[in-house]
Structure formats: C-alpha cells, structure tokens
Structure 1
Amino acid sequence: MQSWASAGDSTYDAAVKLGKLVEEASDGRLIITPYNAGAIIPAGKEFDSVLSGTVEAVHGAPAWTLGYFPGAIFYNNTVGGLTYNQQRMWLNKEGLELARKNYKPLGAHYVGPLTPHNAEVFMHSTKPLDSVEDLKGFKARMGSAALNEIFARMGAAPVFLPGGEVYEATQRGIIDGFEYVTPSVNWGMGFQEVADYVYLSPSRAPTDAQALFVNQKVWDALPKDLQVIVTNATFQIADEYYTEEIVNDAAALIEFENYGSKVRKVPADIEALLFKTADAYYAEQAASDPAYKEIYDSVMAWKKVCSQFNIQ
C-alpha cells in the first residue's frame, strides 16, 4: 500500500497503524505493508497504479481521482460542504454505497476515509490576503481539479502539486501560498518556516479525508472475514485519527502563534465570493453528470437534515 503522504506526515503514521491493527485482528493472516509517497510509484499517481495493479492498495485523496469520477470530490473536501461528523453519518446512511457503486466499475474498492480531518487551514500564505483583490494572480497550490477551477474563477492562479513538493515550492517562490490539511499536520510539516500567514476558515474545507482504496480484483479475492476486518479497522483508525487531530490542532495553533506566524481569519468578502463561485461550479457539474448529481443531491439533502437538527 502506497500512501499519498511523506514519512514525516501524521497521516502516514495512521497508514502504519492500519497495517498493525489488521495484522493483529486477522491473527497474521493479512499483512498490509505501507510505503510513503513516491516509494514505489510517483507521488500523485497512486490511484492510477491501484487500478493497474502496480500496487494493491493506496491511501490517498479521493480528489485525486476526479479524472475518473468527478463526484469523488464529495468524499474529499467541498466548499461549504459536510463536516466530518456529518459526513461520517452520511457514509452510514448512503454515502458509502454510492462511493462503491461508482469506484467498482473503474476497478477500485473504496474502503473508507482512513484519515479524515477537522476543518482545514484555509491558506498558508507568504503574502497578506486582506480582500478579494489580493487573490488576483495569487499562485496557490490546490489539491484538486475542482478547487483549481473554483479559485481560477475567483481570479487566482492555482496549480496542483503533490503534498511532498509544497514546502520547497513555497520556499523557492514558485507558489505564493497553499492549502494543505489542518494545523497539527501542517505544523509537523514545518510550513511555519516558509509561509508567514495562516488563514483560518472552515469555508473551503469543513473536512477533508484521504481514503483507503484497494484494487477491486485484490479485494474480491479476500475472504469475507478479512474484508470485514479491513473495513472495520479503517473506520476505527479514522475515528481515532480524527479525535486525536482535533486535540492536536488546538495545540498547533498556539505553536504557530508562538513561532511568530500571523494567524488570521479569512476576510468576509473572500468567503462570500468563494461560496458564490463554488455553488455555481457544483451546480454546473451536477447538471452535466448524472452520477455527480446523484451524490450532490444526497449530500445536500443530508446537510439539510443536519441543519434541521443542529448536527455540527
């Protein structure tokens, strides 16, 4: 199993924990050997390789599969979308069934969100973002084609980079800023050393997740009890990871401030433009793709239920 993450990333540690838990739960009948990003296949090409069978499983962002399945964005992060608590319940309801329905014809089994996140840092930046005008031409690393399109429409100049290249690209001035994950993950990656500003807002990504995918033929060849063990272990690690990350995020924000990072809230006009632009983008995609629309409608219906009962 190759992970999207470098060895210094806490999400990679979760992939290692998954292997240990599955080995223990299966009494040694199934061994999952994790590799960090780029160890077997080029970083960013994980999903292609699990489809081809170059690797048997990958731990990576559903957003990196959009070229095959545009609706996968709802299993990663969506502007104004579900929080992880809400998404976790949606996966119990119908979200998991819809994911597997769409990934199976491609040749991959979506097991579940191995490393789900709290609301992400909106942007680490080398420049101040005081208003919409500061986004004009802003070279921002984005982690998905969807975010690239949304931020391009907002006037930014987004680029896609694998996570392991973000630090150096910022240090060399190739990009002005980047979205990555949450404060605790990002502190561990040393981003405070290359970007002075930390902009906070749950608007861009109320949650995010890297999921576990297994080559469909490999998955189908597993005995049913081992399939259950892998699935249960994935969700157990996910819940543990999420809870631990929230605690660590609170501590990490203090670390950023003590370091001298300028921790700021995203200006209201940027948030307003982001919501307006994203809503139009998602509606366009839903109108042209029945599979996308099915998931979009399901997410929006569940979000409405969560709002009705104040489920955060």
Structure 2
Amino acid sequence: MKTDLNTKQWLSCVIAAIALSSPVYAADVEWRVPTSVPGGSPFYENFLQRFADNAEMLTAGRVDIRPFGAGVIVPALQVYDAVKEGTVEAGHSTPSYLVNQNPINAIFAGFPGGMGSQSYINWIYEGGGQAALQEIRASEGLHSLIVGIGSTEIFAHSNVPINGPDDLDGLKYRTSGPWAEVVREYYNAVPTVVPPGDIYTLLQRKGVDAIEWATPSSNYPEGFHEASRYIIVPGVHQPTFLWEVVVRQDTWDQVPDDLKQLIESAAKLTTYEGLSNFYHNDLIAMEDYRAGRNEVISLDDAFVEELSENGRAWIAARAAAESEAGNPAMEEILEDYQAYQARWNTQKDYLITD
C-alpha cells in the first residue's frame, strides 16, 4: 500500500510539473467587442455571443472575441465611433443608428416597403448586398462582418390603440432609423430615440405612447407587453433588419489570411443560425402574447400598403437628394436592391411559405 501511495504521489507531481512547464498559448486574434444592447439580452446572445462561440469553434480557439454589453466600455449609441477612434478593436451594432449621419444606411437598416428577411438575406449573400455594405464601411476605415439578419418586428407595444393613419398623428413613439423619419414626415408623429436598455422604463412611465424595438421573441423578455395594453402587428415599419460587427480596417489587415476566411464563415453561420432562432422563438412569443392579457391588433392590408408606399417614397427621395449632392452611391445601391426585390416578387409564386 505504501508503494502504491508513493507511486500516486510521484505521478501527481509529474502531471503537475508538466502542466506548469507547458506553454500557455494566447489566441492569435483578441477583440473586445462592445454592443448597443444590454448583456444577456436576445440580440446579445443570438448575434454577438453566438458569433464569438462560432469564431472560437471554427478557428479552434485561435480567435478570442470578448463581448461587452452596452455601457460597459462605451455607450450604446456610440459603438461605431468607439471603433473608428480605436477605443476598441471591434463593435457590434446596427446601421439603423447611423441613418441620421448618412442615409445610405437606411437600405441596410430595413424600411417600410423594403424586403422581408427571406428575400433580403439572399440579396445580401447572393445578390451583392454584403459587398455593397463592405464597400461603404471600407470608406469609413472599417471592415463589416454581418452577424445578424432578423425576422419581422412588432409594429408597436402601445398604451393606445393603433388602427390607421389618424392614430399616428401626434403619437409619442420610441423608434429609430428610417421609420422614425417616415412616421414624422408623413404622419406627424413624435419619434424619440433612446438606447434599448431604457425602453421599458420609458414605456412603463408613459413617457411615450408606444414603442417599437424588435421581434416578438426579442421583446418578450424585456416585458414590454406587461407595461402596455396593445400589441400592433405586422411590423411593416421594419420587415427585417441587419446587425454587424465592425472592425477597424488596420486591425482587420493584421489578421492572418486563413483566419479571415474562418471569421467570415463564423459570421455567416451566425446570421443563418440567428434568423432560424428568431423564427422559432417568435412563434412561441406570439402564441404567449395572444393567450395573455394584451389585445393584439392586426393592421388592415390597405394601411400596410400605404405605410409601405410612403416608406419607398421616403427612401427614394433621400437617395435622389444624395445624388443631387454629388453622392450617387445610395441611389445606385437602392436601384440594385429594388431590382432584386422586384425579381423576387415576380417569381415568388413558386414558393410555399407556410
């Protein structure tokens, strides 16, 4: 017994010595990535954390992406600036927050009358959309990695019923991006933008009449349905949306070529997995909403078409104004986007979507 004990002690010492003498390899790529949403929220988990996990898996640990919730490193609405300024290596946010700075972002943010997720994801990856976005970001000194395309959003969680255009007149409405401009210009609403983490309190305290944030399943854990009576669908204001991780171009240039391909693959995998996750969980969320205390209002087809027409008119006017100012890129990309949308709509009768 004594010999066995000595042997075990010796083996333990050898194993410990090997462990201590073995080199600890750092990842080849280490990025701190703040996001515009709170840590642990659906967009954080479904897009950013999923991307971090996929990148680690596909690169066998050579890429270490460290997500940070909104406000931990930089404020929620300043992620793009933080990357440009070199405060962090990369950041996670949405073009929706850049529309007021440059309206070309509206094409990628999602807008009334735009494509839904099924056609949009194909335009992005097969029809040239991703290349167009990467060219825009390159002009800003950034590299874009698309890590999220979403299902259709909820039009509003509201303290007042919304059935038609008259109900939008004077409505105090938390929103952002192209829809904020459309609802102000065409319907005399009063849009306001607050970071995602502040939306619930704003709604609960009736600082606004209504809010829109995201998909049914993304909204559910935020508790918006508990702070308001009405749920308005469909989300014609934002048929789909896009989130990206942006990296400083000089940071991206330092990444080994083999890892660049794997990181791009991790981003694309994340986008498809994330969209599938939304579809499934949105179904569950809508079932729960309809079984609960809320009144779900479905907008009629005529109003949905009116909103779509006004959204298309708004973005066409912005693109034309950009061209007149000597910036033709928005109009060129929008023409390509709408041509793909028209092709899709012309041929979609072969699809079964239920």
Q: TM-score, normalised by structure 2?
A: 0.84
Tell me the residue number matched to 1:104.
138
For 1:213-258, what per-residue CA distance to the aligned partner results, in whole angstroms no more than 9, with x for missing partners? Answer: 1121111111111111111111101111111211111110111122
Q: Aligned pair 1:3/2:6, yes or no?
A: no
Q: Considering only aligned residues, what root-mean-square deviation do their CA atoms show, in Å?
A: 1.6
2:337 to 291, 299, 307: 299
What is the Cα deviation at residue 165 of structure 1?
A: 1.0
Unaligned stretches of 5+ residues in structure 1:
none
Aligned residues: 310
Q: Aligned pair 1:148/2:180, yes or no?
A: yes
In structure 2, give the amino acid aligned to 1:99.
Answer: L
In structure 2, give the amino acid aligned to 1:32.
Answer: I
For residues 227-306 of structure 1, what are the structure 2 equivalents within 5 Å? 227-268=260-301, 270-289=303-322, 290-306=328-344
Q: Aligned pair 1:30/2:63, yes or no?
A: yes
Q: 1:68 to 1:107 in 2, by over 3 A?
A: farther
What is the Cα deviation at residue 208 of structure 1?
A: 1.4
Separation in 2, partners of 1:108, 1:61: 14
Tell me the residue number matched to 2:21.
none
SS of 2:127's equivalent?
helix
- Contact conserved, 2:182 with 2:314, CA < 8 A, in 1? yes
Separation in 2, partners of 1:63, 1:107: 19
1:13 to 33, 45, 53: 45
Structure possessing the higher relative contact order (Cα contacts under 8 Å, 6 or more residues apart)? 1
Q: 1:21 to 1:268 in 2, by over 3 A?
A: closer
In structure 1, give the amino acid aligned to 2:340.
Answer: W
SS of 2:130's equivalent?
helix
Q: 1:131 to 1:260 in 2, by over 3 A?
A: same
SS of 1:198's equivalent?
strand
What is the Cα deviation at residue 17 of structure 1?
A: 2.1
For 1:189-233, what per-residue CA distance to the aligned partner results, in whole angstroms no more than 9, with x for missing partners? Answer: 111111211111142121112222112111111111111111111
Report the identity percentage.
26
What is the Cα deviation at residue 157 of structure 1?
A: 0.7
Tell me the residue number matched to 1:212.
245
What is the Cα deviation at residue 125 of structure 1?
A: 0.7
Name the stretch that deviates more: 205-214 or 271-280: 271-280
SS of 1:59's equivalent?
strand
In structure 2, give the amino acid aligned to 1:209.
Answer: L
Q: TM-score, normalised by structure 1?
A: 0.94
For residues 183-202 of structure 1, what are the structure 2 equivalents within 5 Å? 183-202=216-235
Q: Aligned pair 1:308/2:346, yes or no?
A: yes
- Contact conserved, 1:47 with 1:64, CA < 8 A, in 2? no
What is the Cα deviation at residue 295 of structure 1?
A: 1.2
What is the Cα deviation at residue 272 of structure 1?
A: 4.1
- Contact conserved, 1:123 with 1:198, CA < 8 A, in 2? yes
1:172 to 205, 210, 225: 205
- Contact conserved, 1:103 with 1:110, CA < 8 A, in 2? yes
Unaligned stretches of 5+ residues in structure 2:
1-32, 323-327
SS of 2:174's equivalent?
strand
- Contact conserved, 2:54 with 2:266, CA < 8 A, in 1? yes
SS of 2:232's equivalent?
strand
- Contact conserved, 2:121 with 2:149, CA < 8 A, in 1? no
Q: 1:109 to 1:269 in 2, by over 3 A?
A: same
Q: Aligned pair 1:84/2:117, yes or no?
A: yes
